[in-house]
Chain A
Amino acid sequence: MSVQRAPVGPVAETASARRDLSGRRIVAKRFLRHRLAAAGTVALLALATCCFGASWIAPYPRNAQDLLTGARQPSIAHWLGTDDLGRDYLSEVLYAGQVSLSIGLCVAVLSTALGTLVGAIAGFTGGWAEEVIMRVTDLFLIVPGIAVLALALEGLGPSPVTIVLVLTGLGWTVIARVVRSQVISLREKEFVEAARVIGASGVRIITRHLLPNLVGVIAVNMSLAVAGAIILESTLSFLGFGIQPPQSSWGNLLTQAASLVGTPKAYLLYAPGAAILLTVLAVNFVGDGLRDAFDPQGRK
């Protein structure tokens, strides 16, 4: 926040800037004190580093087949064993994580951005725009989600990009409803009234006055969206509508391992699922931490 753009004079602005800074520090402090949230952040960073740095970190190059070895139980040379084609499973899981994590993150960012935008406009303007948007989200509540996703992917083809778009297309309504209800209660507050009296435009009120108050809600929702998108992607892959081989994601690795239940190769089942579990768990902890950190009623 710069002093030059201050609408209410330099004194008030520097005071609010100072408060803003310490507010941010309080949030950061509370978040770090939340031990599980801190652990979740570390776990997520570690996972992301290992997956996206897989070309340096993974013990074997991508898709390095060794048909003579075939599927082997976990050993010192191959920590998670090898699959049918003799590929090191740890490396495969790490590379697959790139796709899963990217999809989770992209869907979360896109659906949160879209949902926040739509929800804020609906809540702030009211009237027919709100009516239309709310009826549309009503519609999304009753259509069978997994069926619509499968249908859309069948129609558009299952590439990572279409998966992101389709999951975003179905996911934005959740955050839109939340943001709308928050904006409706905020828009009657005195500081919004004051901004309007000064002559601030609607866009300015939304971006400078309303949205900063919703950062907590938005952040929490985004973390939940990451978790939801990763699980949904793996479920769709399992049903045959997700990422297709030779591209791989955690869901897709699990799908290939699913037929191995009851055979000696069942060990291939554990690693991709555990990766999903760990990611979602960590993301949920981060979400909990954010919720507590941004909660104005929380202890300092």
Chain B
Amino acid sequence: MLRFVIRRLVYSVPVVAAASLILFWGVRSTFDPLAKLRQGHDAGALRREVARLGLDRPVLEQYVLWMKAFATGGWGTSTRTGGDVRAMIGSALATTVQLVFWGVLLATVLALGIGVYSAVRQYSAGDYVLTALSYLGIAMPAFWCGLILIQLLAVWPKERFGLAEPPLYFVGLHSPGRSGFDMDYLRHLALPVITLTISLIASWSRFSRASMLEALSSDYVRTARAKGVPSRQIFVRHALRNSLASFVTVVALDSAILFGGLVVTEQIYAIPGMGRLFLASMLAGDVFVLIPWMLIVALATVLFNLAADLGYALLDPRVVLR
């Protein structure tokens, strides 16, 4: 197991290196890191910055220099805020991890519940309703869904019932001056998490329904039925457990893609996480934030992919990792 993890990580090094080189080159050729300075007409300062950042050297050499600095923790300063990039990405990541954690938790529980129900009651009215809803969830642009949720769950009830505060908030993760895990946090969290996960719930529940149905039609389930094992026990111990392995793989793989959805969700709800940091940096052409941002997200994807393989191996005893 440990050998497998190490080998996979070693194999992913060249891919990550190639990806980071392309991203580095892409960001550098799109934005000029010295755009602000060039407006100042201070030729001396400009020259000093060019020399300090090594902008007069070949891109490959710049990349190696940057990679060295990145690996030793010197991520530079943001041209937008003047702050330390590592601290900025660190705090944004801490916010985003909360969203991802609650999102994946909610989506997993709901999708499994819906999938099992739909599979056990295949072709019932409930199954048809849930199937129709999942088609809608997959076909809906996430940001539109978020905007409509604000209108329906926050703005409309407030106006309709004349409340002083909307039942669910739609700006940030905490009210000003509050922090920690409390009712206020949950009321802030509800809408972003739903927006983030609605398409995941839809597609994961389809997947868990399909794998549950496959498990239910297998020979060992028939044997268990023939032996007279109670239905509930068959569903949970035999079918659900066996359908879980492939489900967990999909969850881990899709969780990496969640970062794309985060950009949209954090923008709608003004949550200061990775997505919003990315957009602000894009608008300002903040090279020194964008490059590490992309590398961090790429690394997260590699780790989630690894987690997918490990999860599969843990849940399916037939798989041996080498």
A residues touching B (Cβ–Cβ < 8 Å)? 135, 138-139, 141-148, 150-152, 154-155, 227, 231, 234-235, 238-241, 251, 254, 257-258, 261-262, 266, 269-270, 273, 276-277, 280-281, 284-285
A252 CB, nearest partner CB in chain B, Å: 12
Whether A235 contacts B142 by the Cβ 8 Å rule is yes
Q: Which residues of B contact A241 (CB under 8 A)?
A: 282
Q: Are B282 and A151 in contact, with the CB atoms below 8 A?
A: yes
Question: Does A276 lie within 8 Å of B29, measured CB to CB?
Answer: no
CB atoms of A269 and B26 under 8 A apart = no
Chain B residues with CB under 8 Å of A270's CB are: 148
Does B236 make an interface contact (CB < 8 A)?
no
Q: Are B139 and A284 touching (Cβ within 8 A)? A: yes
The answer to whether A142 and B19 have CB atoms under 8 Å apart is yes
Q: State which of A144, A227, A238, A277 has its C-beta within 8 Å of the C-beta of B297.
A: A144
Q: Interface size on B (CB < 8 Å)?
A: 45
How distant is the Cα of A212 from the Cα of B22 in the complex, in angstroms? 36
A284 partner, pick from B135, B268, B294, beta carbons under 8 A: B135
Q: Is the CB of B298 within 8 A of A143?
A: yes
On whether the beta carbons of A155 and B143 are closer than 8 Å, the reply is no
Whether, in the assembled complex, B151 has its beta carbon less than 8 Å from a beta carbon of chain A, the answer is: yes
Q: By the criterion CB–CB under 8 Å, are B141 and A142 in contact?
A: no
**B residues near A284, Cβ cutoff 8 Å:** 135, 138-139
Interface presence of B301 (CB below 8 A): yes
Chain B: CB-nearest residue to A231: B141
Chain B residues in 8 Å Cβ range of A254: 141, 143-144, 147
Task: Indicate if the CB atoms of B141 and A273 lie closer than 8 Å.
Answer: yes
B263 interface residue (CB < 8 Å to A): yes
Nearest A residue to B299 via CB reads A142
Question: B110 interface residue, CB < 8 Å from A?
Answer: no
Check: B314 CB closer than 8 A to any chain A CB. Answer: no
B30 adjacent to A227 (CB under 8 Å): no
Q: How far is the CA of A87 from the CA of B148 in the complex (A)?
A: 23
Let me know if A152 and B151 touch, CB within 8 A: no
Query: What are 29 A-B contacts defined by CB distance under 8 Å?
Result: A142-B305, A143-B19, A143-B22, A143-B298, A148-B23, A148-B294, A150-B278, A151-B30, A151-B290, A154-B282, A155-B26, A155-B30, A234-B143, A235-B141, A238-B264, A239-B263, A240-B279, A257-B147, A258-B147, A261-B155, A262-B150, A262-B154, A262-B155, A269-B151, A270-B148, A273-B147, A276-B144, A280-B139, A281-B139
| The one of B26, B151, B259, B267 that contacts A262, using a Cβ cutoff of 8 Å | B151
With a CB–CB cut-off of 8 A, which chain A residues contact B141? 231, 234-235, 238, 251, 254, 273, 276-277
Docked pose: A138 CA to B139 CA in angstroms: 27
Known: A142-B19, A144-B301. A152 touches B279 (CB 8 A): no
Smallest beta-carbon distance B163→chain A, Å = 14
Alpha-carbon gap, A89 to B298, bound state (A): 41
Chain B residues in 8 Å Cβ range of A273:
140-141, 144, 147-148
**Using Cβ atoms and an 8 Å threshold, which residues of chain A touch B139?**
227, 276-277, 280-281, 284
The residue in chain B whose Cβ has the minimal distance to the Cβ of A36 is B135
B302 within 8 Å of A (CB atoms) = yes
Q: When the two chains form their complex, are residues B301 and A151 in contact, meaning their CB atoms are under 8 A apart? A: no
Q: Does B94 touch A at the CB level, under 8 Å?
A: no
Known: A139-B19, A139-B22, A241-B282. 20 other contacts (CB 8 A): A135-B18, A139-B18, A142-B15, A142-B19, A143-B23, A146-B259, A151-B27, A151-B30, A154-B31, A231-B141, A235-B264, A240-B279, A254-B143, A254-B147, A261-B150, A261-B151, A270-B148, A276-B139, A277-B136, A280-B139
Residue of A nearest to B145 (CB): A273
On whether the beta carbons of A143 and B294 are closer than 8 Å, the reply is: yes
Task: State whether the Cβ of B65 lies closer than 8 Å to any Cβ in chain A.
Answer: no
The interface of chain B, by Cβ under 8 A from chain A, is: 15-16, 18-19, 22-23, 26-27, 29-31, 135-136, 138-144, 147-148, 150-151, 154-155, 257, 259-260, 263-264, 267-268, 278-279, 282-283, 290, 293-294, 297-298, 301-302, 305
Q: Which residues of A have CB within 8 Å of B22?
A: 139, 143
Residues of B within 8 A of A154 (CB): 30-31, 282
Q: How far is the CB of B271 from chain A (nearest CB, A)?
A: 15
**Cβ-closest chain A residue relative to B283:** A240
Per CB-CB distance, the 9 closest pairs between chain A and chain B, nearest first, are A273-B144, A280-B139, A155-B30, A146-B260, A144-B297, A281-B139, A262-B155, A142-B301, A238-B143
Say yes or no: A261 contacts B301, CB within 8 Å: no
Q: Which residues of B contact A280 (CB under 8 A)?
A: 138-140
Residues of A within 8 A of B298 (CB): 142-144
- Could you tell me the distance in whole angstroms from the C-beta of A277 to the nearest C-beta in chain B? 5
Chain A residues within 8 Å of B151, by CB: 261-262, 266, 269
Residues of B within 8 A of A141 (CB): 301, 305
Please report the C-alpha to C-alpha distance between residue A254 and residue B140 in the assembled complex, in whole angstroms: 13
Closest beta carbon of chain B to A135's beta carbon, Å: 7
Contact residue among A148, A231, A277 (Cβ-Cβ distance under 8 Å from B26): A148
List residues of chain A with CB within 8 A of the CB of B150: 261-262
Residues of B within 8 A of A240 (CB): 279, 283
Tell me which of B148, B293, B302 has the highest count of chain A C-beta atoms within 10 A of its own C-beta.
B148
Q: Please judge, given known A-B contacts A144-B259, A147-B297, A284-B135, whether A261 and B147 are in contact too, CB under 8 Å.
A: yes
